[in-house]
Each structure stands twice: as structure tokens, then as C-alpha cells.
Amino acid sequence: MMLALLLMPALVMFLVSLSKNDKTKQILPITAFSILLPIVKLFTLPKPFPVLNEYLVADQLNTYILLVSSIVGIGVTLALMTLNKHVKVSAPAYRRFYRFFALFWVGLIFSILANHMGIYWIGLEMATLSTVYMIKTNHTSSAHKQAWNYMIVGAIAISLVLFGIILIYASAKPILGEDAMQFDLLLMHAKEIPSPFLFEMGFAIATVGMFVKMGFFPMNLWLPNIERASFYPVAALFSGILESAIIVGFFRFSRVAMELDYPHLFAFVFVYVMLTIFIVAFLIFRAKDFIRLFSLSGIEHMALIALFWISGGTFAALLHFGAHAFLKPALFLSTGVLESNGKYKMAGSLTGYSGKKGWLFGLLVSLFLLAIVSVPPSPMFFSELYGFAAMINFAKNSHYMIAMIGAILFLLILLSIIFFRFIAIYQSMHYEGENKKKQVYVSELFALVIFALSLLTLITPSSMDFLRGIS
């Protein structure tokens, strides 16, 4: 019953998008808003809750991620209502976007709620394939080229994940049989796995696949290229929702790896993440437009989430995840407004907005830009504070205290480079460029207000207590 309620909004959205009636443009946003209702219901149920026997199970972790994703989906839907005011988009392309957004949402539900490695992979592949067509909604040669590039990179990444799953399954099959595909049983019997090397090989290969899908080393540029070529709402979906489905898989696999051999897991992920942040920091320093800037920043933040998670900072990782999931789509959707009268122009982009709507838009964009670089009281300020503390606590129980402190200092230097770049751009947005009259619409402001309120909710005591309670 619960699964039917979760899938119903996507099914209705898909069917409505097939209609050629002009009124569907008003109906489609309403169907998208309804995705939140069953998730709120699921959020209130006792955990763990079997959505589909032992195959789809809702716990505190994945329900939180699904709730965050649904709020992002609503914000993106609000921005879609005025997409044609900023870019050229035909009515058929608009309906097609919603059609594949519906399929994307179905894949997302299966991947996030999956307690089965096979179902997780199927859901992730469904979400990936549907985003290929959402990229192609923008009928330009660049978008079509990047859609094919994404198809190739996505195929490589998802194949690595599948091969890793096969190795993990093979490592645990002697003790669990066919149930070796279930995450909960793998976690329960991790110390009994007879072939730990085979599991670690599977975990490493699957992790590389998941990291590549998030733009980590060595494929750092494909994600900014795709998000630059597609419409702004597609970039918001990538950063705020698709990466959620990927990172939840990393959380699941790494929990098992922690039980099996924590030092091996930490060393592998730590080196990978540090290398990624090192490269991304200098790519951000050279960024020439908003989309690439925010896209590369998203890679950096997902790397920090992975680092905090494997350091034992579950609370820091989940707080950072929520802040990133709300901030980055808000910035991508703001870009749709900022660039509508002059693409790629950073200097003076915040000038030219008048009236209460213009004032509110400028204020929200300014706050989002300051929040993304962890200026207090941004949730990212607290998450990084707790995350670095978790890294030091982890080092206390090992023989690598000096090495960890050195790594944290190196990481702070890289984050300072990113901070400098964002502040420089923020200042140029205010004080340079011609003062042309620009327009911002109510639905776009409403989306940004939703994201701002969601960010404030994250740092309330009750929300922080909830995140601390997720083990």
C-alpha cells in the first residue's frame, strides 16, 4: 500500500505529460507537489518500515534522504513554471521533461529505499537513463553532445557499480546464499564473510563507480559540462536529487566495509577524496560562469560528505548532505534568473533588480552564496566543524594523529582557495557591470524561500537531535 502511494504521483505525472492539452502546464506542477505527501506519511511511521517485504525498507537514514529530495523536487517544479521566461523551451519539450522526471522519481524511490543491491542498481540506472532525456530537453547541439557524453560516462560508472556488486555478492554467498544481496544481512554478518579481500575489491570498484557518477577524480569535468549544456532545473536535479541516490548507496556499502576492515576503508576513501578536492579547488579558482562554479563546488561538498562519513561523523555528514541538497539547487535556479539577460556574466549580475521582489531575490542569493562557503550560521559551518572534530577523534584512536592534523590543515588550505573565489565573485556581482532592468517571478522566489526555510529548519535543535539519532 505504501509503495503504491509513493509511486502514484509519478504515475499521474507521467500520464498527464502524455496529453497535448495546454492546460497540462498547470496540472503538471500540482502532480509534482504531491510527491511530498506520501513521504511525510512514511516519515512518521515507526522504523524500520517494510515498504516491500525485505526488498524495500524505510529506515531513518533513507527516509531523511527521500524527504530532502522531495522538497528539492518541489522547488525545481516551481522554477519550471517560469522556465520559458528565461530560455526557449517548446510545449512538447516541457511535457517531455515532466515525463522523464516522473520516471526519474520512480528510479529514485527504488534506489533510496532499496535493501537489496540489485534493486539499488536498477533504480540508479533508471534515474540515470531518464536524466539523459531531460538533458536533451534543451534542443541545442551542445546539449545533445553532452547527453551522449553522459550516457557513456554513466554506462562506465554504472558498470563498475554492477561489477562491484557481483564481487560483494560472491564474497558473502558461502554464508548467506541468495540473501547475500541484502544490505541488512551483509551488515549483520560482515565479520563472518569468508573472502574479505574479494569483498574489499568489490567495494572499491563499486565506490569508484559511484564516485565517478558524482564527478570525482579522474572525471571531474563531465558533470560541469553537462550541467552547463542543459536547462537550469536539470542541473538542480543532478545536484540536489540524483547525487542523493548515489550517496545513499555509498553509505550502505561503506557501513558493511567498516565492520569488515575499517582502516582499509578509511585509507582508500580518504586518499580518493583528498585527491578529488585538490583538483576541484583549482578548477573552481578558474571557473568562468555560474553553472561550472556551482557544479564543481557540488563535487567538493559531496567529497566532504564522504570524508566525514568514513571518519565516524555521521551527524556531520548528514547535516552537510541536507545543507548541500538545499543550497546547490537554490543556486542553480538562481542562475536561471541571473543569466537570463546575459549568459555567463558574473560581474554585475545582481544589479538591475528593483522592487520588493528584486530586493528579496538579491538578499536570498547573497545569503545562499555566503552559506555555501560555510559562513556562520550556515548549516555547512556546523557540519564542517563537527566533521573535522570527527576526523580528529578518529585519529586519536589510531597511530596517525600527526598525519591527520596535517591532512586537515591541507584540506583547510584548499577550502580557503574555494572561499576566496566565491567571495571575489560575490563582490563583483554587487559592484560591477551595467545596471540593466531584470525580472524575477513569484514562483521562483517561492522556490528560493522554501529552500531558505528548509536550511533554517536543519539547524533547529529538533532537527539536529534527529540527525544525531541516525546511527
Condensed to tens digits (0 to 9), the pLDDT of residues 196-235 reads 999 999 999 999 999 998 888 887 778 888 888 888 888 8
Average pLDDT over residues 398-403: 74
- Range scoring the smallest mean pLDDT among 44-48, 112-116, 205-209: 44-48
Report whether 247 contacts 125 (CB < 8 A): no
| 241 neighbors 69 (Cβ within 8 angstroms) | yes
Helix (H) or strand (E) holding 105: helix 91-113
Residue type at 163? F
Name the residue type at position 438: K
What are the tens digits of pLDDT across the range 314-365? 999 999 999 999 999 999 998 888 877 666 677 778 887 878 888 899 899 9
pLDDT, position 53: 87
Distance of CA 347 to the CA centre of its chain: 28
Q: Render pLDDT for 56-87 as a digit per residue (tens, 0 to 9).
A: 999 999 999 999 999 998 888 888 888 888 88
In this prediction, residues 130-141 reach a mean pLDDT of 84
CA distance 27 to 106: 19
pLDDT for 342:
60
Which H or E element spans position 69? helix 60-80
Mean pLDDT (whole number) for 45-52: 90
pTM of this structure: 0.94
Residue 170 clears pLDDT 60, i.e. is over it: yes
Beta bridge partners of 114: 56
Q: Taking the domains of the chain in order of start, what are their residue ranges?
A: 2-468
Average pLDDT over residues 391-401: 80
Cα dihedral 389/68/6/95 (nearest 10): -140
Angle at 220 (CA atoms; ends 83, 335), nearest 5 degrees: 25
Quote the mean pLDDT of the chain. Answer: 88
Condensed to tens digits (0 to 9), the pLDDT of residues 420-468 reads 888 888 888 876 555 677 788 888 899 999 999 999 999 999 999 999 9
By the 10 Å C-beta count (0-12 exposed, 13-18 middle, 19+ buried), 402 is classed as exposed
Give me the torsion for CA of 378, 379, 383, 385, rounded to 10°: 30
